[in-house]
Homo-oligomer: A and B are copies of this chain.
Amino acid sequence: MVKVKVAINGYGTIGKRVADAIRLQPDMELIGVAKTSPNYEAFTAMRKGYKLYTTKENIQKFQNSGINVAGSIEDMIKDSDIIIDATPGGVGANYKKIYQEYGKKAIFQGGEKSDVADVSFSALCNYNDAINKNYIRVVSCNTTGILRVLCTINNFDKIEKVRGTIVRRAADPKEVKKGPINSIVADPARIPSHHAKDVLTVLKGIDIITSALVAPTTLMHLHTLFITTRNKVSKEDLLNILSNTPRILLLNTEKADAESTAEIMEIARDLGRYRNDVPETVIFEDSIYTNGNEIFLMYGVHQESIVVPENIDAIRASLNIMSRDESIRLTNETLKIGKGYLI
């Protein structure tokens, strides 16, 4: 099998996880990773044996720090078939010109505006719309979390209305200087939050309004959704569908005696998961509640890892390597992503 040559531009929270995931794919080869600062993440990349690239003006700085540089970012792009752009939000749009110049495909992240790409992407929702597209944008962690749940329910019974609140984590665990440390922030103090708009880039035509808050925690986001469907839906049917959907896990909060994001992370640690990542959307089973044609539920979104499998699938869609179901199955198998019950 000829392997797809993948380069990672930006080696932060998302880039480093996608790099690790690429190495596990039988149909992909990791060309290297690009970074602009020679920090601890560059050293761990070197220890893992990843080829490191940086901007021309930074090469000397990296070498002075004792990091071997394989070449410039342009060199890396030239050697690859497709680039995962995991640069900070808004920076990817500038790099797009370079990808285009070299005639390379690219996968952008949710921090970019949706018009950077030909299609916004969530594997469970619209894999087929992304086939052969040159530029694909994987939606943000919160939007990926919402879309997995909404598309699953929408396939079962048409969604008429969604009203939801997103309680965001304040910062990623590594961001030592970010806050808030003792406050609840309306982010923004305006309704709707951008998440509703972003959901509509993938799941078109539904009536969705979201509000977003930030809480002083680093571990996960937590969403609470109020969904109205066309017909009456039973809790039993919902449990059946959700527990059979890949990338969605249910947590039996009563049995596990766990009903917080901290406990989900602790379970991931106890299971020996790499970096304690939980790329699945974790639904609190006991929060699923139906009332006529209304559905209510709460779930956690692990902001660092939820989009990783989506990036892998986006590569296969862009290059039309295999079908949606084959790609999702292979990604899940290689990354050990579950379905059914976490506990």
| Interface positions of A (Cβ within 8 A of B) | 163, 165, 167, 169, 180, 182-192, 209, 211, 213, 215-222, 224, 226, 253, 259-263, 284, 286-287, 289, 291, 294, 296-298, 300
Tell me which residues across on chain B come within 8 A of A291, comparing CB atoms. 209
By Cβ-Cβ distance, the 7 closest A-B pairs, closest first, are A183-B262, A215-B215, A189-B259, A185-B260, A165-B165, A189-B284, A191-B289
Q: Are B182 and A262 in contact (CB under 8 A)?
A: yes
Contacts beyond the supplied A191-B224, A211-B296: 20 A-B pairs with Cβ under 8 Å:
A165-B211, A167-B167, A167-B184, A180-B217, A180-B262, A182-B217, A182-B218, A183-B261, A183-B263, A184-B219, A184-B222, A184-B261, A185-B261, A188-B259, A190-B253, A190-B287, A211-B224, A213-B222, A216-B216, A226-B226
Give the CA-CA distance A218 to B182 in the complex, in Å: 7
Say yes or no: B261 contacts A189, CB within 8 Å.
Answer: no
| A262 proximity list for chain B (CB < 8 A) | 180, 182-183, 185
Complex-state Cα separation, A56 to B145, whole angstroms: 58
Give how many copies assemble into the complex.
Answer: 2
Which chain B residue has the least Cβ–Cβ distance from A260? B185
A297: chain B residues within 8 A (beta carbon): 191
The CA-CA distance from A209 to B188 in the complex, in Å, is 24
Instruction: Tell me the minimal C-beta distance from A300 to chain B in angstroms.
Output: 8
Bound: A209/B290 CA distance, A:
11
Contacts of A187 in B (CB 8 A): 259
Which residue of chain B has its CB nearest to the CB of A253? B189
Contacts of A163 in B (CB 8 A): 163, 226
B184 touches A169 (CB 8 A): yes
